[in-house]
Amino acid sequence: MGKGKWFLSIIEKKKGCLVMIFVQLVYSGMALFSKAAISTGMNPYVFVAYRQAFATLALAPFAFFLDGKKADPLSYSLIWKIFLASLFGITLSLNLYTCAINYVSATFASASINTIPALTFLIAVAFRIESFSMRDCPGMVKLVGSAVSLSGAMVFALVKGPEVNFMKWHSGSDDQKQKTNPVSSKEKWIQGCLLMLSANTAWASWLVIQAGLVKQYPAKFRLTMLQCLFSCVQSSVWAMSMNRDISSWKLQWDFNLFSVAYCGVVVTGISYWLQLWAVEKKGPLFVATFTPLTLIFTAIISAFFWKEMLYLGSVCGGILVVVGLYCVLWGKNKQAKNQPILQEETQPPNFAKEEPIV
């Protein structure tokens, strides 16, 4: 009985980390399933619109029954803020991401999102949500950790080296590799990188914005549902303006439907709410620092289910990603212990005065 209580106390203390590890595992599935669906011919903008529709339907019962009493009436100013947060955070980042994934692999897409901690750190410092000082050791460790993690992601994506054939299977012929490689030219590779960088910047901004929104409207289920609803409408308008073919909106009982449902219900619905909870408890940088784990999970799942080869460069890059992650977490935890009031670290200035947040 004593051991059971001790185990539960450990889970209670580490639940923030456990939640974010689960979220990154979910996101690794998003990279793989969305890549597979779009590669088989599904329109990327239609994919995002359906994904947000599934997420809205999945969150609606929870928003009504669980947050019905705690949700305050929405002011016009707050609705406008939620609408803009959905537009510049969710709608823009998802559409840019699904467009970019046409030109890069799922593993590279997962590697590119490791720019999010550094981008979030810079944006959070600019809004004074995160503290940083050149004379502050924890602050310097956070900065160095972000740089190490980003460097590890780049090594993972760009450096191959010898194969690590731990499962004793063959990597396949060069023709098969060419078919599975989405980067057909240098121009497309550059275009995909730029689109991914833009998507990650929009997502980092969304994480920072949530710190202010969740304090003004603490009903997290309803806040997430409203953002998904606005994003669904915005993405539908975007998809219809970019693609006039009605047949592209047809869904059948196939892998595409499963991918849309997974990305909508599990990724957008459940993980968005979990991230809002983590942003409220730990701050936006804490959430962003776990994004490197998506790269490692994606590579492992791809190796087991798609029999993609791992390389020594990928393994070394993964080690750097984990080292950078722990450096950032150490710096943040050390900084939190040195501050008598933890809320000051995540309190955005003047957001409660109904000023625009985007």
Q: Which of the two residues, 301 and 60, has the higher pLDDT score?
A: 60
Please tell me the least confidently modeled range out of 7-16, 30-39, 238-247.
7-16
Between the ranges 111-125, 137-151, 230-244, 296-310, where is the mean pLDDT highest? 230-244
Q: What is the mean pLDDT of residues 215-224?
A: 84
Across the range 46-67, mean pLDDT stands at 87
Helix H or strand E segment including 164? strand 163-164
Q: What pLDDT is stored for residue 91 in this prediction?
A: 93
All residues at 6 or more sequence positions from 219 whose CB lies less than 8 Å from its CB, including other chains? 63, 67, 70, 71, 72
Q: How far is CA 302 from CA 6, 121, 151, 321, in A?
A: 36, 30, 22, 18
Distance (Å, whole) CA 251 – CA 212: 37
Q: Is the pLDDT of residue 114 over 80?
A: no
Determine the length of the chain.
Answer: 358
**164 bridge partner residues:** 310
**Segments in the chain forming alpha helices (H):** 2-13, 15-39, 44-65, 76-85, 92-100, 106-112, 116-126, 137-158, 174-180, 186-216, 220-242, 255-261, 272-282, 284-288, 292-305, 312-338
Question: What is the identity of the amino acid at 24?
Answer: Q
Range 284-298 average pLDDT: 77
**Residue 26: pLDDT over 50:** yes
Q: What is the pLDDT of residue 166?
A: 54
Report the share of the chain in percent with pLDDT over 90.
13
CA 134 to chain CA centroid, nearest Å: 29
